[in-house]
A and B are shown apart, each in its own frame.
Chain A
Amino acid sequence: MALFPLTSNFEGDFVLQLVAVDTENTMDEVAAAAAVHSVGRRVRARPDCIMRIRRQGATDFLPRAMKVHESGLKPTETIEIIWEPVRH
């Protein structure tokens, strides 16, 4: 349990933002924490999608249940939060 700063690059938004998470947070929780600062402020919510996390430049997403301390992310590293369509 420790505070962990990340840099959020949210799909569709225009600016990187500081987002504070916890080392115990999962990637889904990280995405939700980042969304607080973008969705409904400058980015429209997309009910047809879930939000996935990837390292900048990566194509693969980090597993949704992966915790921050397991991810190898460095403090203040930039993560991309990407809308992924939900399959029905």
Chain B
Amino acid sequence: MAVLNRMDWYDLARTTNWTPSYVTEDELFPPKLSGDFGLPQNAWEKYDEPYKQTYPEYVKVQRDKDAGAYSVKAALERSRIFENADPGWKSVMKAHYGAIARGEYAAASAEARMMRFSKAPGMRNMSTLGCLDEIRHGQMQLYFPHEHVAKDRQMDWAFKAYDTNEWAMIAARHFFDDIMMTRDAISVSIMLTFSFETGFTNMQFLGLAADAAEAGDHTFANLISSIQTDESRHAQIGGPALKVLIENGQKAEAQKRVDIAVWGAWKLFSVLTGPIMDYYTPLEHRKQSFKEFMEEWIVAQFERALTDMGLDLPWYWDIFLKDIAQTHHGMHLGSYFWRPTLWWNPAAGVTPDERAWLEAKYPGWNDTWGQCWDVFIDNVVDGNMAMTYPETLPYVCNMCQLPILGTPGKGWNVKDYPLEYNGRLYHFGSEVDRWVFEQEPERYAGHLSIVDRFLAGMIQPMDLGGALQYMNIAPGEIGDDAHNYAWAEVYRALRAAKKAG
């Protein structure tokens, strides 16, 4: 039997809107869930997805992708790559799995909201496939790390992280709750797929796939690229929705959603991906600095995506372009200094050679971030380890939930962006974080940051032990230097040589 070409029947098969007669349109598509923006069903019927795939095609392609990734894993299971990997690389895997795996699974429910509640039939088709994608990503990124759980307790965080009150996970949940778990179908398409996935998952997935290949971890490299091919398809769900909104006079609402989601995504990547690229990755494996990568893969591509769409660059673009050379250095120093509160072992990445690289990529690094690290390194060399740990909490932002930080040393510019709202004093890490809050204060006002919880007496006893317990970090999982401070030997030798000389 001859089979029709896809395009001979796709448009007809996608025409699945009808005029409801037993219920009202608002009952069929409750505005809170559908996000109709005052537009009737027929306006959404103009939604035209750029990437058309039918269910049989999808199943065939996905089956092959799965077979590929799983067979590489099976073939390399006895290769001892994990055992022999650089400790910095293991940390990359642990951070990635914990922060991403269960978030992928949650994304399936966001896709399902578009699948059921979007008034755009084309969006319902694409997000049906997107939902299956995200289930696959959740399952794979739980299955792949599982073989390592018996070797290393921190690997258990691949599953556990999202159930904890670990500070970075509070930040991740706050962001994903905002852009995908508590938004209507159309907003999800803009904030999750267009802003987060088009704008930023490239960063994590393309960047990490390359790093994994460099590190010789072909299982991880294949897994990550396999996922990225799905992401690049379903990331296109939001574009046509933006077009419909702009054509119907809703540009301002569309732009606001993009601006909010892009900023939150940026903050999350500054803590997750920035330290990995510029500090954890062994020097010989570094291709580009985080800033160069951002400029090439995020800034240039995303600027084009926005203008092609008829949107403006976010109002804070100048702030963003400045921050991509700064924020992640603070996120690294902060997460490293508070390392017992991580579920991975951060690599310091501050040997003299690494510092020379940082100085070349970020002129002025030694006079700013380097000044803080100088004090830290002296303490390690002197064996004064107590002073290499914190005795209080960093103040975190009431929007991104990450430490409020800036450039230290000679470029000192650290600043709080406070706001009093309904008698409560909120603190933000930037003008943009505060602006996001001000767009819809009631949406965010009730949330307690980890510092708010501490001050409310919810963390007991009020010391590191109590904090670790609150964050569900068990003995054997507590983060410490990835290389057990072996990198400090070179400084010890330098000091000895100086004394002798």
Which chain A positions have C-beta within 8 A of B404?
Answer: 15-16
Distance from B58 Cβ to chain A, minimum over Cβ atoms (Å) = 46
Chain A interface residue count, CB cutoff 8 Å, equals: 26
Contact A12 B425 (CB under 8 A): no
Expressed in whole angstroms, the Cα–Cα distance for A18 and B353 within the complex equals: 34
A7's closest neighbor in chain B, by CB? B395
Which chain B positions have C-beta within 8 A of A17?
Answer: 390, 392-395
Expressed in whole angstroms, the Cα–Cα distance for A22 and B372 within the complex equals: 28
CB of A19 closer than 8 Å to a CB of B: yes
CB of A74 closer than 8 Å to a CB of B: yes
Expressed in whole angstroms, the Cα–Cα distance for A7 and B418 within the complex equals: 11
B389's closest neighbor in chain A, by CB? A41
Which chain A positions have C-beta within 8 A of B18?
Answer: none
Considering the complex, which residues of chain A in the window 38-87 have a beta carbon less than 8 Å from any beta carbon of chain B?
40-44, 56, 74-78
Contact B388 A41 (CB under 8 A): yes
Which chain A positions have C-beta within 8 A of B334?
Answer: 14-15
The one of B330, B390, B414 that contacts A9, using a Cβ cutoff of 8 Å: B414
Contact A14 B425 (CB under 8 A): no
Distance from A40 Cβ to chain B, minimum over Cβ atoms (Å) = 5
Contact A76 B393 (CB under 8 A): no
Contact A42 B408 (CB under 8 A): yes
CB of B267 closer than 8 Å to a CB of A: no
Contact A42 B412 (CB under 8 A): no
Expressed in whole angstroms, the Cα–Cα distance for A42 and B373 within the complex equals: 7
The one of B369, B391, B394 that contacts A16, using a Cβ cutoff of 8 Å: B394
- Using A7-B395, A18-B451, A37-B390 as known contacts, say yes or no to A78 and B372 having CB atoms under 8 A apart: no
CB of B407 closer than 8 Å to a CB of A: yes
Distance from B329 Cβ to chain A, minimum over Cβ atoms (Å) = 8
Which chain B positions have C-beta within 8 A of A12?
Answer: 371, 408-409, 412
List 27 A-B residue pairs with CB atoms under 8 Å apart, sorted by A's residue number.
Answer: A5-B455, A7-B395, A9-B414, A12-B408, A13-B412, A14-B334, A14-B372, A14-B405, A14-B406, A15-B395, A15-B404, A16-B405, A16-B414, A17-B394, A18-B451, A19-B392, A20-B392, A40-B379, A41-B379, A42-B408, A44-B371, A56-B418, A75-B425, A77-B418, A77-B425, A78-B395, A78-B427
A-B pairs, 6 with minimum CB distance: A14-B408, A16-B395, A42-B372, A78-B416, A16-B404, A15-B405
Binding site for A on B (CB under 8 A): 330, 333-334, 337, 369, 371-372, 374-376, 379, 387-388, 390-395, 403-409, 412, 414-416, 418, 425, 427, 451, 454-455
Binding site for B on A (CB under 8 A): 5, 7, 9, 11-20, 36-37, 40-44, 56, 74-78
